[in-house]
Structure 1
Amino acid sequence: METGNIEAGVTARPARPRAVLIAGPTASGKSALALALAERTGGTVINADSMQVYRDLRVLSARPTPEEEARAPHRLYGHVDGAEDYSVAHWLEDARRILAEAEREGRLPVLVGGTGLYFRALTRGLSPIPAIPAEVRARVRGLALDAPALHARLEAVDPETAARLRPSDTQRLMRALEVFEATGRPLARWQEAPGEPPVLEPESAVRLFLATDRAALRARIAERFHAMMAQGALEEARALLARGLPADRTLLKAHGMPWFARHLAGEVSLAAAVEGAILDTRHYAKRQDTWFRHQLHGWTALPPDEAAAFLARAVG
């Protein structure tokens, strides 16, 4: 990841990049930056966040508001039902289609989000992970282990993947364990292997990572979560839980959902649920930051207060 040498990174790129990619930890200001750029350039904002694809949790997933969506075209936000499984491969196919649509319309695609695997698949291609035999999947899914125990088991065989997954994300933890059990090879190694060609050549895009001061980010996370509470986050969580979705659905792992579920079941107070959700989100942001810094090779890392000027120079 490049840092500090902004001009060198810009002059090496074409005057009109094929796309702009904006990544960073949660609450780092990515969405506001992307919207401002799309408004200024006549661009299309394209979601690259695995929670914001779902329609059920607009508030808790920090999706753009209807007013923000009216200011510039937004794509791949809230288009998936919470009962569905939505993989990196699904997102990549959707992104391919939306990129082509934006290009036909003469709009600059501005992809923004905090899901590093989406950006890696977009610019490096999908890794050639083999199909998992049904008996292996059944064996792993039948393990009588809670989420922390699954995370510890994965950490023993694939520490790199374990480091970037939430300890509460049982679905992805089991997926990583399935890959190891079936192939004897960590998921992280499969993801490094060459696979399908990328949808977007990295050199054709401006690639920016928002490197936010940790103390400032912690404060922003708390401030934003309290704002979410005022906007109806608890009521949104209650409505989702009322759907009775299977416990392994991705959306039920969204920041705040496990704690709100415990509160609504009478296990913890609302204040404890809010504080627990904020703490979990801070831990997740730290893992995001670490993953991005190690995985986004060739990206420019800048603090948020320098990002707009960088994009103005890079895009023209």
Structure 2
Amino acid sequence: MNSGHPVAHGAQRPPAICLLGPTAAGKTDLAVQIVQRFPCDIISVDSAQIYREMDIGTGKPDAATLARAPHRLIDFLDPAQAYSASRFREDALREMQQIHAAGRIPLLVGGTMLYFRALRDGLADMPASDEGVRQRILLTAEKEGWAAVHAQLAQVDPESAARIHPNDPQRLQRALEIYLVSGETMSAFHRREMRQQARDSLPFTLHFFALQPDDRAVLHDRIARRFRGMLEQGLVAEVERLYARGDLNLGMPSMRAVGYRQVWRHIAGELSFDAMVEQGIIATRQLAKRQITWMRSWDNLHSFNSEDPETQSLLLNLIDGIAI
């Protein structure tokens, strides 16, 4: 266990618990245990679970789990709609205030690190999305690949290109879009962020905990079993229903979610079933790698090995000190 800095309350600010981790690390199961022991209410921090009609591939908790531990900020947006990190911050703070007003503690659980960062640091006032520019970028990616988009970004915003992996299409698209729309780089906008001001003005003290296996091979095995399990539960049929709607496409954030993109391409006849399974597992591993990379740079993070039988009791003891 990497204990980080001691857990301590900020002056007169109520606590909020944040449980981060890569996909398939077991965050939901642990969150349910926390809710059953402490007066906590869960807020999902997941950019895919926000969407309705997308249950299996997003790993959304089942009805029995939600009955024991209700989740806020899941299942409220149509897949054709867009959602942003800034909107998440607004929504999460509203939910956190409601939970605190009820005499309980917010428990934020998920793997969308950009949302956690937006909550903690605030966001620069980025330009609004431009659908025409986004479609042009997507067309380039379809014709030449995302590596070509990454190379284009590297020419105009080398700082962002160095931070963003060529296999991260959503962030690549947004970074290049910002430059094409505004003439300024995402890096320049980020430099103008008042991070400490955002942290100081946050009405909660955030306590960050991470759950991940120490052995990457264990995580890879869990990811493969999880993806195959989703297929057995009916993931292809779920995506077929989305495909049949006629108003969705692979340029939308909802359909770029890991697993959905690969199954969509299988339904469209672009991938065989076996290739879809292989690419779905690889894409999920790449997502987990990016999530772990984000966590390595996180301040004040208490990290726990998800495979250690002592982890649950150690984490619950730490939370006990916060919840008093």
State the TM bucket, normalised to the shorter chain.
Answer: 0.7 to 0.9
Residues paired across the two proteins, number:
307
CA distance in 1 between partners of 2:201 and 2:209 (Å): 15
Shift of 1:151: 3.0
Distance 2:304 2:265 in 1: 38
Secondary structure in 2 matching 1:210: strand
* Distance in structure 2 (CA, Å) of the matches to 1:162 and 1:55: 34
Structure 1: gaps of 5 or more residues = none
Which one of 50, 53, 56 corresponds to residue 56 of structure 1? 53
SS at match of 1:142: helix
**Is the 8 Å Cα contact of residues 25 and 289 (structure 1) preserved in structure 2?**
yes
Report how far residue 159 of structure 1 moved. 5.1
Range 173-182 or range 59-68, more displaced: 173-182
Question: By how many angstroms is 1:199 displaced?
Answer: 9.1
Whether contact under 8 Å (1:16, 1:315) holds in the other structure is no
For 1:38 and 1:56, the matched residues in 2 are separated by 26
1:122 paired residue number = 119
TM-score of the superposed pair, with normalisation by structure 2: 0.84
**Within 2, Cα distance between the matches of 1:159 and 1:288?**
19
Whether the 8 Å contact between 2:42 and 2:106 is mirrored in structure 1 is yes
> Given the two structures, how large is their TM-score scaled by the length of structure 1?
0.86
Gaps of 5+ in 2: none
> Please, which of 302, 305, 310 is the counterpart of residue 303 of structure 1?
305
2:229 maps to 227
Establish whether residue 209 from structure 1 lines up as the match of residue 210 from structure 2: yes
**Contact 1:59–1:231 under 8 Å retained in 2:** yes
Deviation at 1:122, TM superposition (A): 0.8
CA gap 1:203/1:85 in 2 versus in 1, 3 angstroms:
closer
Counterpart selection for 1:111 from 108, 111, 117: 108
The verdict on how the C-alpha distance between 1:289 and 1:200 changes in structure 2, with shifts beyond 3 A counting, is farther
Do residues 191 (structure 1) and 195 (structure 2) align? no
Task: Choose which of 93, 110, 124 in structure 2 pairs with 1:96.
Answer: 93
Q: Which residue of 1 is the match for residue 220 of structure 2?
A: 218
CA offsets, 1:168-212, max 9 Å, x none?
A: 63x543321122335555324523521673598498122112242
Q: Which secondary structure does the structure 1 equivalent of 2:75 belong to?
A: coil
Distance 2:203 2:13 in 1: 14
Residues 134-213 of structure 1: pairs in structure 2 closer than 5 A: 138=132, 141-143=135-137, 144-146=139-141, 147-148=145-146, 149-156=148-155, 157-158=157-158, 160=160, 163-164=163-164, 167=167, 169=169, 171-183=170-182, 185-192=184-191, 193-194=193-194, 197-198=198-199, 201=202, 204-212=205-213, 213=215
Distance 1:226 1:140, change over 3 A: closer
Letter in 2 for 1:99: M
Of the three residues 261, 273, 276, the one matched with 1:273 is 276
Q: Which moved more, 1:180-189 or 1:48-57?
A: 180-189
CA–CA distance in structure 1, aligned partners of residues 74 and 204 of structure 2: 26
The Cα offsets for residues 141-181 of structure 1, whole Å up to 9 and x where unpaired, read as: 43541151223322442454664467363x54332112233
Q: Distance in 1 between matches of 2:44 and 2:275?
A: 31
The code of the aligned residue for 1:142 comes to R
Identity of aligned residues (%): 36
Query: How far apart are the structure 2 equivalents of 1:180 and 1:150?
Result: 13
Distance (whole Å) between structure 2 residues aligned to residue 302 and residue 161 of structure 1: 31
Between 141-150 and 73-82, the greater mean CA deviation after superposition: 141-150
1:240-299 CA-to-partner distances (Å, cap 9, x unmatched) read 1111214421111111222212221233321221111001111111111112212x2122
What is the CA–CA distance in structure 1 between the aligned matches of 2:164 and 2:294, rounded to whole Å?
6
Contact (CA 8 Å) 1:162, 1:173: kept in 2 or not? no
Shift of 1:214: 1.1
Asked whether the 8 Å contact 1:154–1:173 carries over to 2, the reply is yes
42, 49, 56: which one aligns with 1:45? 42
Provide the C-alpha distance between the structure 2 equivalents of 1:281 and 1:249, rounded to a whole number of angstroms.
18
- Asked if the contact 1:43/1:73 (under 8 Å) is kept, the reply is no
Contact in 2 for aligned 1:47/1:112 (Cα 8 Å): yes
Distance 1:16 1:307, change over 3 A: farther
* Amino acid in the other structure paired with 2:207: V
Please tell me whether the aligned partners of residues 211 and 303 of structure 1 are also in contact (alpha carbons under 8 angstroms).
Answer: yes
Query: CA contact under 8 A between 2:3 and 2:303: conserved in structure 1?
Result: no
Say if 2:150 and 2:161, in contact at 8 Å, map to a contact too: no
Pair 1:151–1:57, CA change in 2 (3 A): farther
